[in-house]
Amino acid sequence: MTRAKDAVGGYGERVAVRYLTEQGMVLLDRNWRCGAGELDAVLRDGEVIVFAEVKTRRSGRFGTPAEAVVPAKVGRLRRAAALWLAQAGVRAREVRFDVVSVRPQRAGPASVEHLRGAF
């Protein structure tokens, strides 16, 4: 079960990063880990540093992908983002937290929903 879940998550992250870079963002880091958790993707959108949380779901049985970003997860992501900024030595004028929901389709490309400034 874990391998299948990891494969779906990895696929969703690849789709999301491709989508975001096609929108003009520049990828700075991916799958960065620390004691607070993992940052799926760190990007630059003009002058803004974007921390993108990617959620992939094959069905809607457990809600939308974005609904999986619960308050405890938000706290971990904010702590991890602060650590990333400190380690990278980046002094951002503005940061933004986005959620990218990916839903693989039976045929054709995955459905992608990008929520800017989601939390």
What pLDDT is recorded for position 64? 80
Please, which contacts does 30-37 make with residues 24 or more away whose CB atoms are closer than 8 Å? 32/80, 32/84, 34/80, 34/83, 34/84, 34/87, 35/83, 36/76, 36/79, 36/80, 36/83, 37/76, 37/77, 37/79, 37/80
What pLDDT is recorded for position 1? 53
**2-115 — its CATH code?**
3.40.1350.10
What pLDDT is recorded for position 63? 79
Domain boundaries, the chain: 2-115
What are the pLDDT digits (tens) for 83-113?
A: 999 999 988 889 999 999 999 888 889 999 9
What are the pLDDT digits (tens) for 46-75?
A: 999 999 999 998 777 777 878 889 999 999
Residue 2 has pLDDT above 90, yes or no: no
What pLDDT is recorded for position 65? 76
What are the pLDDT digits (tens) for 7-39?
A: 888 999 999 999 999 999 999 999 999 999 999
